[in-house]
Amino acid sequence: MKYRTTRARTSLRLPPRGALASKQARKGEERRGRRCGNSNQLCERREPARDSKKGGKRAGLAAPIQPMRKPPSVSRSCDAACAPPPSLPPPNKEAERGQRREACASASRDCSASVSLLRSPPPGSLAPVARMAPASAASFAQPLLLLLALGSSAWVGASWKEARKPNVVLILTDDQDTYLGGMTPLKKTNALIAEMGITFSNAYVPSALCCPSRASILTGKYPHNHHVVNNTLEGNCSSKSWQKIQEPYTFPAILKSVCGYQTFFAGKYLNEYGAEDAGGIGHVPPGWSFWYALEKNSKYYNYTLSVNGKARKHGENYSVDYLTDVLANVSLDFLEYKSNFEPFFMMIATPAPHSPWVAAPQYMKSFTNVSAPRNSNFNIHGKDKHWLIRQAKTPMTNSSIQFLDDAFRKRWQTLLSVDDLVEKLVKRLEFHGELNNTYIFYTSDNGFHTGQFSLPIDKRQLYEFDIKVPLLVRGPGVKANQTNKMLVANIDLGPTILDIAGYDLNKTQMDGMSLLPLLRGDSNVTWRSDVLVEYQGEGHNSTDPTCPALGPGVTHCFPDCVCEDAYNNTYACVRTLSASWDLQYCEFDDREVFVEVYNLTADPHQITNIAKTIDQEILEKMNYRLMMLQSCTGATCRTPGVFDLGYKFNPHLMFSNHGIQMRRLFTRSL
């Protein structure tokens, strides 16, 4: 059956399916390209894929992934046990068919284990995509031959899927808030994921910026443990250090090398991915069977993709280049060509609703009467906040307000294409019978603000509008139409997905917690009451020539010299949510000793800083808790919070990661 796709067309070229020993597979290989010498490797050849229209062509990927070979001993034993007779047995030969079924099942188990070991290099030595297939040709062959021997494709397919691990899809948007109604445009997404599953109403990011937050998703760690502190190479964003120390141990790397998952990535990875100083787009991180990543930051047109390490440039023709639609199409292609005998993980990272806010043509006139919300912290002065917030001009000029209203509308317009992507993906999963065995996660890397405390547009700040994100989940065992108020963070995504795959989380050093008990509705769950939020400001210790009055170090400035960041906009916060407290405590690392504290029960928009009026004992406890969380790793990040019954202050746990110099500093401060 052929499928009608969206306007932007692209095709994902996957390894040949079927046994290399079978006549059908050999013919398939001849169609795709001739063999290279006597090897088992297909010569590189570009093959146009089928289009939804008769006679149409779609651009194929330039470099097919090379299949791995099994050793002769493994291959011979598998093929001999599972090879079908010259013709399928007549229906009345039940005894012969039963013997063959038993022999094939046994051989398939043994061979699958052997192939799994062959495809799983040790941690830290995972081969890039171009050198390792998502599954060897032989691993495709065994299930196919087993199917032929049994003579019933429907029975085999159903039983195989029932026994297979769940699939996982993670959809990650860019700069999508929940505080300002960022989920409102996504009618289909709300119907297909939120209403069919669970909405986490208190989901936070450990850093309100793209690269640190995405690194936390991949590693399951706080920024002080993965060391990605901002969006620059100097801040460890996709740097060589990140590639060497963190990438081999991300949760996709574990899924692929240990858990036997096919893994697929499409979209924005990290902001500095593709930088020439860090390997360029030829670098494919370990853990990905299929890699379709955007070079650098979000764009909608005129961008370059790394297709399994090979550059592919796109222009500005909507029908073939609009990035959100390109990601949708290549994702649907993956679902068509993937192996049906292994679970899969997909991560689809859209550019929307990040700037430059270019909507698809059919959506450019949407939301014409919508403007940014005028809530109680809109266009007011942050008089009791850190100096960077205080420098904003209040009230904002009419031109600034018009600009942010326009940005707000365009952000929503770009999300309509994401809504289409979600609908197509869910329908395709349902068509293939995969939906009931697939968890779908929908979230964002950070929030956003439009005029709060007179800051025009950006993220980075410590307030709810920047650190709170949507998190929707549907999947096996998840009841429909639920809302969960537990305090969760994106460092929980990695542990959750590994838990779904059956991996022992005690083998990781992840700081997050598995959400799986919450997804299943377990009643006896001991959960956290606080999370850490930390950020290291960008900028250099020099004066911006266009805004000299602001002094050195400011960056991301608007024409009227309202700046969104500075090198000393460096802070750490404890966000607490317990039965009795809804509190945020923050300290700035600056020459100006500054603390911000908010009681969100009484002040949900964080207008009044109560640092000078709150009980001194609470301040001291929060200060201790913050220091401990800033030095935590793994299980120590999940200890009881200040307002939990089991809380106790242990100074020996503080600064355990920061060496003797920090411990001496702490001792002197006591």
Both 76 and 198 in one domain: the answer is no
Out of 502, 530, 558, pick the residue that ends a domain. Answer: 530
Do the beta carbons of residue 188 and residue 469 sit within 8 Å? no
Spatial neighbors of 589 by CB under 8 A, at least 6 apart, are 568, 570, 571, 572
Do the beta carbons of residue 266 and residue 11 sit within 8 Å? no
Q: What are phi and psi of 505, to 5 degrees?
A: -70, -20
Q: What are phi and psi of 458, to 5 degrees?
A: 165, -160
Catalytic hit among 210, 259, 563, 586: 210
Domain with 36 in it: 23-88+96-163
495-508 tens-digit pLDDT: 999 999 999 999 99
Comparison of pLDDT for 16 and 122, the residue scoring more: 16
- Please check whether residue 41 lies inside any domain of the structure: yes
Mean pLDDT across the chain, nearest whole number? 80
Confidence class of residue 650 from pLDDT cuts 50, 70 and 90?
low
CA distances from 88 to 97, 139, 145, 156 (A): 9, 22, 11, 15
Q: Which two tokens stand for residue 78?
A: 């598998």
pLDDT at 321: 99
Return the axis-axis angle of helices 94-118 and 72-82, rounded to nearest 10°: 160
Q: Which two tokens stand for residue 395?
A: 């009230």
| DSSP 3-state of 573 | strand
Confidence class of residue 653 from pLDDT cuts 50, 70 and 90?
low
pLDDT at 385: 97
Q: How many C-beta atoms surround the C-beta of residue 452 within 10 A?
A: 30
Helical residues (DSSP H) of 522-642, grouped into ranges = 616-630
pLDDT at 252: 99
50-54 mean pLDDT: 40
CA gap 387, 568 in Å, rounded? 10
Q: Of 84-93, 150-159, 558-567, 585-594, which range is least confident?
A: 84-93
Would you list the DSSP string of 204-242? E-SSSSHHHHHHHHHH---HHHH---SSSTTTTTT-HHH
Strand partners, 15: none
Q: Of 19-28, 179-188, 230-239, 316-325, which range is least confident?
A: 19-28
Both 378 and 492 in one domain: the answer is yes
For the cut 60, the answer to whether the pLDDT of residue 319 exceeds it is yes
pLDDT at 155: 39
Strand partners, 204: 468, 489
User: What one-letter code names the amino acid at 409?
Assistant: R
pLDDT at 485: 97
- Please check whether residue 74 lies inside any domain of the structure: yes
88-117 mean pLDDT: 39
- Please check whether residue 106 lies inside any domain of the structure: yes
Q: Of 137-141, 436-440, 535-539, 558-562, which range is least confident?
A: 137-141
Both 250 and 115 in one domain: the answer is no
Spatial neighbors of 347 by CB under 8 A, at least 6 apart, are 169, 170, 172, 252, 263, 264, 265, 266, 267
Catalytic (active site) residue 210: yes
pLDDT at 646: 85
Both 142 and 229 in one domain: the answer is no
pLDDT at 16: 42
Q: Is 556 left (phi over 0), alpha (psi -120 to 50) or beta?
A: left
pLDDT at 523: 84
Do the beta carbons of residue 258 and residue 249 sit within 8 Å? no
143-148 mean pLDDT: 37
- Please check whether residue 503 lies inside any domain of the structure: yes
Helical residues (DSSP H) of 451-607, grouped into ranges = 464-467, 493-500, 516-520
Return the axis-axis angle of helices 72-82 and 137-150, rounded to nearest 10°: 20
CA gap 359, 372 in Å, rounded? 18
- Please check whether residue 16 lies inside any domain of the structure: no
CA distances from 55 to 1, 9, 52, 490 (A): 15, 14, 9, 45
Confidence class of residue 32 from pLDDT cuts 50, 70 and 90?
very low
Both 137 and 208 in one domain: the answer is no
Both 77 and 177 in one domain: the answer is no
Q: Of 1-10, 318-327, 337-346, which range is least confident?
A: 1-10
Helical residues (DSSP H) of 369-485, grouped into ranges = 387-390, 398-431, 464-467
- In CATH, what number is assigned to the domain containing residue 221? 3.40.720.10
74-79 mean pLDDT: 36
Return the axis-axis angle of helices 153-163 and 137-150, rounded to nearest 10°: 130
Q: How many C-beta atoms surround the C-beta of residue 37 within 10 A?
A: 7
Number of domains, the chain: 3
Both 432 and 560 in one domain: the answer is no
Both 204 and 135 in one domain: the answer is no
- Please check whether residue 277 lies inside any domain of the structure: yes
Residue with tokens 């990695």: 494
Confidence class of residue 221 from pLDDT cuts 50, 70 and 90?
very high
249-288 tens-digit pLDDT: 999 999 999 999 999 999 999 999 999 999 999 999 999 9
Calculated CA dihedral for residues 188, 189, 195, 201, nearest 10 degrees: -140
User: What one-letter code names the amino acid at 609?
Assistant: N
CA neighbor of 485 nearest in space, from 382, 582, 386: 582
Spatial neighbors of 194 by CB under 8 A, at least 6 apart, are 183, 472
Comparison of pLDDT for 374 and 53, the residue scoring more: 374
pLDDT at 652: 61
- Please check whether residue 149 lies inside any domain of the structure: yes
CA gap 262, 257 in Å, rounded? 10
Q: How many C-beta atoms surround the C-beta of residue 436 within 10 A?
A: 11
Both 653 and 620 in one domain: the answer is yes
548-599 tens-digit pLDDT: 777 778 888 887 788 888 877 899 999 999 999 999 999 998 877 899 999 9
Confidence class of residue 161 from pLDDT cuts 50, 70 and 90?
low
Do the beta carbons of residue 324 and residue 421 sit within 8 Å? yes
Both 221 and 370 in one domain: the answer is yes
Comparison of pLDDT for 260 and 141, the residue scoring more: 260
Number of helices (H) and strands (E) in the chain: give both, helices first.
19, 22
Both 70 and 172 in one domain: the answer is no
643-654 mean pLDDT: 75
pLDDT at 222: 99
Q: How many C-beta atoms surround the C-beta of residue 449 within 10 A?
A: 26
186-190 mean pLDDT: 99
89-112 mean pLDDT: 41
CA gap 501, 254 in Å, rounded? 10
CA gap 218, 240 in Å, rounded? 16
Confidence class of residue 654 from pLDDT cuts 50, 70 and 90?
low
User: What one-letter code names the amino acid at 653?
Assistant: L
Cα torsion angle, 251, 254, 255, 259, sign:
negative
pLDDT at 45: 35
Biggest CA–CA distance in the chain, Å, is 92
For the cut 50, the answer to whether the pLDDT of residue 103 exceeds it is no
CA gap 74, 627 in Å, rounded? 55
For the cut 80, the answer to whether the pLDDT of residue 420 exceeds it is yes
For the cut 90, the answer to whether the pLDDT of residue 183 exceeds it is yes
pLDDT at 548: 79
Out of 530, 560, 579, pick the residue that ends a domain. Answer: 530
For the cut 90, the answer to whether the pLDDT of residue 448 exceeds it is yes
Comparison of pLDDT for 655 and 649, the residue scoring more: 649
Do the beta carbons of residue 20 and residue 32 sit within 8 Å? no
Q: What are phi and psi of 288, to 5 degrees?
A: -120, 120
Say what percent of the chain tops pLDDT 90. 65
Q: How many C-beta atoms surround the C-beta of residue 343 within 10 A?
A: 24
Q: Compute the residue count for the chain.
A: 670
594-616 tens-digit pLDDT: 999 999 999 999 999 999 999 99
Q: Which two tokens stand for residue 430?
A: 């349902």
Confidence class of residue 57 from pLDDT cuts 50, 70 and 90?
very low
Confidence class of residue 302 from pLDDT cuts 50, 70 and 90?
very high
Return the CA Rg of the chain: 27
Comparison of pLDDT for 433 and 670, the residue scoring more: 433
Out of 513, 530, 547, pick the residue that ends a domain. Answer: 530
User: What one-letter code names the amino acid at 366?
Assistant: S
- Please check whether residue 194 lies inside any domain of the structure: yes
Both 521 and 539 in one domain: the answer is no
